[in-house]
Structure 1
Amino acid sequence: MGASVIESSEFIKVLSDGSVERFTPERAPPSLDLYNGYKCKDVTIDPLKAITARIFIPSTAATTMLPVLVYFHGGGFCIGSTTWLGYHHFLGDLSATSESIILSVDYRLAPENRLPIAYEDCYTSLIWLSQQKPTDSWLQNADLSRVFLSGDSAGGNIAHHVALRAIRDQECPVRIIGIIPIHPYFGSEKRTELETRKGSTDEVRSNDMFWRLSIPEGLNRDYDGCNLEQMKVSMSEWSRFPNVLVFVAELDFLKERGVTYAEFLKKKGVKKVKLVETKDEKHVFHVFRPDSEPTRLLQKQMNDFIHSV
């Protein structure tokens, strides 16, 4: 008798024998040839833990020191990859637009690797970055005193937690000066207005499933990786938190969570927090439509932030 399905959505199926089947869209291979003002290659951050990444560099990389943006993909901590076609084109174009080096990290996924493993893997990428800079020609012009963390959905959540780890690690080898969460993914046992609205049943069910699969077993959505109010952060740590640019989308089921995140940071005394709303767009539209005008605007706004800090 075969394994039965214990969790299921259009994106993921978890079977009773522990195996997982994931939605896999079209992928893009790396290209060492210059294309649209950038080129990219794949690297291994930790072969023992299967942490990999894709580096994007702009055509200007050989001539000047460049800021570094470390990007964490979304997918409810359970699906996603920097190799997905949408991420590849969005980040490649962003590298060229912002004239920045981008390290896009493929961390280990839940439910096989529950939180906080994604946070640990992504923080490891910062250590790797500093260790590889002296020997990797693609990183020789990386300015590790101007590092930004970004990510969409779950990746926005990861960017927040990696920033906190960098603040707490007195030996962190890079200087994070800004984070750019796009449609960040937080939660709590308490429902938002959108989550209780008539017609939201399917979205709530899917959202709950991803949290159920990703948080440590035995805990609920008030886990401190999920619920902002449960995070134990001192005022001294908040005072050292980097500048933040938060993006939300008008038609996103998770919009309230992003707005609450920006307000939460301001309340904690984070010096510079800006909230930008994209009208008439849904969750992670930039991944599904990387060539659209709203995505181009998003890239320009990210570029302006990167070069204003």
Structure 2
Amino acid sequence: MSDMAASASITTPPHEVDECRGVLRVYSDGSTWRSSKPSFNVPVNGDGSILWKDIVFDPVHDLQLRLYKPASPSLPKLPVFYYIHGGGFCIGSRAWPNCQNYCFRLASNLQAVVISPDYRLAPENRLPAAIEDGFMAMKWLQAQALANNPDPWLTDVADFSKVFISGDSAGGNIAHNLAVQLGAGSLDLAPVLVRGYVLLAPFFGGTVLTRSEAEGPKDAFLNLELIDRFWRLSVPMGETTDHPLINPFGPVSRRLEQVNLDPILVVVGGSDLLKDRGKEYAERLKNWGKKIEYVEFEGQQHGFFTIDPNSEPAKALMLASNLINKPRSTKRDIFMKHSISHIPKTPNDHKKEFEAVLVHFS
């Protein structure tokens, strides 16, 4: 290299090579910039009926989780419901208003303790960092259940034998990987007992495009270009989207036929580019005898339940989630009381699907 070229390479400032929803910028020298503001500019809708606070669950990486509980709970002990946020493994936070508002609704409607953990984000921390952090958030709950001096804010109301793990998009991917890692009965978490998983539009990938990815609209909320960008920034260095943490059915992925799993509910929007991956996931696991159900909301985009939480589909999804905290007879009463017309038409028989959910989460 000439002296002039060498000088130019030193003085040329880094330039932007990737950008994610205005809150993450990645530069040519590998540096990043993150906004202190969320990408969803919505007000926080807390009204005092739900109490919340933050806890550091991993001091090594300075990771926090946000706890929620009803101010006047309906039961002496409440189920525990994890909600792991989405964001393509690159953006998002427990503190973003859209996440907080959804957790308010979960805690209120489910009458549950809701735990919303953060995790390390890419590209600064590529996979498997986020999966490891999801597991650490579960081990924190176990430590509370076993502690001689636990936090009474949590332990006075939490039923550690009734835990559910839910994740949205990238959070759904984390929830899946936790289900595989923990296995049926979650023995490594005793006395914490996971009863089931809710995967909301799980963020799976693969080197071969699905039909919904290839033919989905370019102006979708989560379009193919953005999907590719998220994977480009989060896939382990030197790997592809057939990595086992990304593609459950990739050429080197663990054979899930041989894994015992707790019940899983998969929820997708009919207009979500990730729809086909979620549907294939549910169909394959069901064919292998796993306790899994699939619900598709016709015409709904990725993340419809947090983007428009007051929509009829979002309310229907909240109703389905609410079934986890009711006796079986009451669940059937609730299901019959809310006629199927409240749920948008889909290719699935929703009555059959939601009755299956009753069996799963009884």
TM-score by length of 1: 0.90
* Aligned residue number for residue 187 of structure 1: 205
The separation in 2 between residues aligned to 1:20 and 1:30, in whole angstroms, is 31
Please give the residue correspondences for 1:70-81 in structure 2 after superposition, counting only pairs within 5 Å.
70-81=82-93
1:172 matched to 2:189 = yes
The separation in 1 between residues aligned to 2:143 and 2:216, in whole angstroms, is 51
Pick the aligned partner of 2:18 from 2, 7, 13: 7
1:241 matched to 2:257 = no
* Aligned residue number for residue 232 of structure 1: 254
Please give the residue correspondences for 1:47-126 in structure 2 after superposition, counting only pairs within 5 Å.
47-61=59-73, 63-126=75-138
- For the 8 Å contact 1:52–1:106, the answer to whether it is kept is yes
How far off is 1:269 after superposition? 1.9
Q: Which amino acid aligns with 1:191?
A: L
Pick the aligned partner of 2:275 from 237, 251, 255: 255
Q: Which amino acid aligns with 1:105?
A: P
* Aligned residue number for residue 267 of structure 1: 287
Tell me: higher relative CO, structure 1 or 2? Use CA pairs within 8 A at least 6 residues apart.
1
1:197 matched to 2:215 = yes
Q: Percent identity?
A: 35
How far off is 1:102 after superposition? 0.7
SS of structure 2 residue aligned to 1:74? coil
Q: Which amino acid aligns with 2:275?
A: K
- For the 8 Å contact 1:246–1:262, the answer to whether it is kept is yes
User: Deviation per CA, 1:126-183, whole angstroms, max 9, x where unpaired?
Assistant: 1111222452122222112211110111110100101222229753232111100111
* Aligned residue number for residue 309 of structure 2: 290
The separation in 1 between residues aligned to 2:116 and 2:281, in whole angstroms, is 23
Structure 1 runs of 4+ with >6 Å offset = 27-31
SS of structure 2 residue aligned to 1:242? coil
1:162 matched to 2:178 = yes
How far off is 1:266 after superposition? 0.9
How far off is 1:305 after superposition? 4.1
> Could you say if the C-alpha distance between residues 279 and 305 of structure 1 is closer, same or farther in structure 2, counting changes exceeding 3 Å?
farther
The separation in 2 between residues aligned to 1:252 and 1:98, in whole angstroms, is 26
* Aligned residue number for residue 233 of structure 2: 213
Gaps of 5+ in 2: 1-11, 327-357
Q: In terms of mean alpha carbon deviation, does 165-174 or 135-144 score higher?
A: 165-174
Say which one has the larger Rg.
2
- For the 8 Å contact 1:59–1:96, the answer to whether it is kept is no
1:223 matched to 2:238 = no
SS of structure 1 residue aligned to 2:188? coil
How far off is 1:7 after superposition? 2.1
The separation in 1 between residues aligned to 2:173 and 2:85, in whole angstroms, is 10
> Could you say if the C-alpha distance between residues 63 and 125 of structure 1 is closer, same or farther in structure 2, counting changes exceeding 3 Å?
same
Q: Which amino acid aligns with 2:200?
A: I
Q: Which amino acid aligns with 1:163?
A: A
The separation in 2 between residues aligned to 1:257 and 1:204, in whole angstroms, is 13
The separation in 2 between residues aligned to 1:306 and 1:16, in whole angstroms, is 50
Cα root mean square deviation, aligned: 2.4
The separation in 1 between residues aligned to 2:256 and 2:87, in whole angstroms, is 29
